[in-house]
């Protein structure tokens, strides 16, 4: 079986395509294991869908996720490189249908419309949090010191709200983000929907521009823009390698 490894801003994924739907949660756990498998934050299985593609998306713990921003960019590039789609196409996710445009190794995706999950901000641990859904739920806290990212706090809130937890710093017209991701159950180098949630929160609450450079923990620069209540998310994707495995 031939699989590929892709990296999108520090989020890494094992990807392959097939015509067969299946429950591959156990396979995801094995192949995403960084000691005994290939190692990845998630497994993406590409299947045909109308004039585009659909996916099965699994976190490294075998759980499914409706949406993954970085994963969607990796999926579009993989599908394009394997002649499954044209440069502009559509991807059916658990959160809905999204569009993507491939330009060399840069991919821009149009995410599903963001939703405000709590009209009032939430107070937890003497911190103000905003609650959004950008494909999956995210709590967002704005801080002046990202070094104070608290892993234990994040773990607690992740389970209390069943959401990803984000600390963000808005400064000099750009945004820096750190995210604890459910399913990975740890801080990751990047989370696309997390960056989108922080960007959306900055526009709504901090008067940020509707076009911003956003930097996850990996340090890579991504571009996010809000247009007609849609978030567009653009950045480079790396095709790491292809490998044949036995299953």
Q: Which residues are annotated as a binding site for substrate?
A: 11, 59, 69-70, 164, 181-182, 192-193
- The catalytic residue among 32, 68, 198, 240 is 68
Question: d(Cα 134, Cα 140) in Å, to the nearest integer?
Answer: 12
User: CA quadruple 160, 161, 163, 165: dihedral positive or negative?
Assistant: negative
| Residue whose C-alpha is closest to residue 198's, from 209, 214, 186, 187 | 214
Q: DSSP for 84-118?
A: SS-SEEEEEETTEEEEEEEETTEEEEEPPPPEES-
Separation of alpha carbons 53 and 242, rounded Å: 20
Element holding 245 (H helix, E strand): none
Active site residue 68: yes
Residues belonging to the binding site are 11, 59, 69-70, 164, 181-182, 192-193
191 is catalytic: yes
169 vs 48: CA distance, rounded Å:
39
What phi, psi does 21 have (nearest 5°)? -80, 145
109, β-bridge pairs: 100, 233
Residues noted as catalytic: 68, 191
């Amino acid at each position: 079986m031939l699989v590929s490894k892709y990296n999108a801003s520090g989020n890494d994924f094992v990807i392959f395509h097939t015509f067969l739907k299946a429950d591959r949660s156990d396979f995801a756990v094995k192949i995403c294991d960084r000691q005994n498998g290939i190692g990845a934050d998630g497994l993406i299985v590409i299947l045909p869908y109308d004039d585009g593609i659909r996916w099965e998306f699994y976190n490294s713990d075998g759980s499914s996720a409706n949406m993954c921003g970085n994963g969607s960019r990796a999926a579009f590039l993989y599908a394009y490189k394997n002649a499954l789609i044209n440069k502009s196409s559509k991807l059916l996710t658990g959160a809905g249908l999204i569009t993507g445009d491939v330009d060399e190794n840069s991919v821009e995706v149009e995410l599903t419309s963001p939703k405000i999950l709590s009209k009032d901000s939430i107070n937890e641990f003497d911190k103000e949090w905003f609650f959004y859904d950008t494909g999956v739920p995210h709590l967002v806290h704005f801080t002046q010191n990202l070094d104070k990212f608290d892993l234990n706090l994040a773990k607690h809130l992740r389970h209390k709200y069943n959401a990803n937890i984000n600390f963000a710093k808005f400064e000099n017209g750009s945004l820096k983000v750190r995210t604890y991701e459910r399913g990975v159950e740890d801080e990751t180098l990047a989370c696309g929907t997390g960056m989108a949630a922080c960007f959306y929160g900055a526009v709504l609450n901090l008067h940020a521009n509707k076009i911003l450079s956003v930097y996850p923990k990996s340090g890579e620069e991504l571009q996010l823009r809000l247009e007609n209540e849609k978030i567009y998310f653009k950045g480079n994707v790396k095709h790491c390698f292809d490998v044949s495995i036995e299953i």
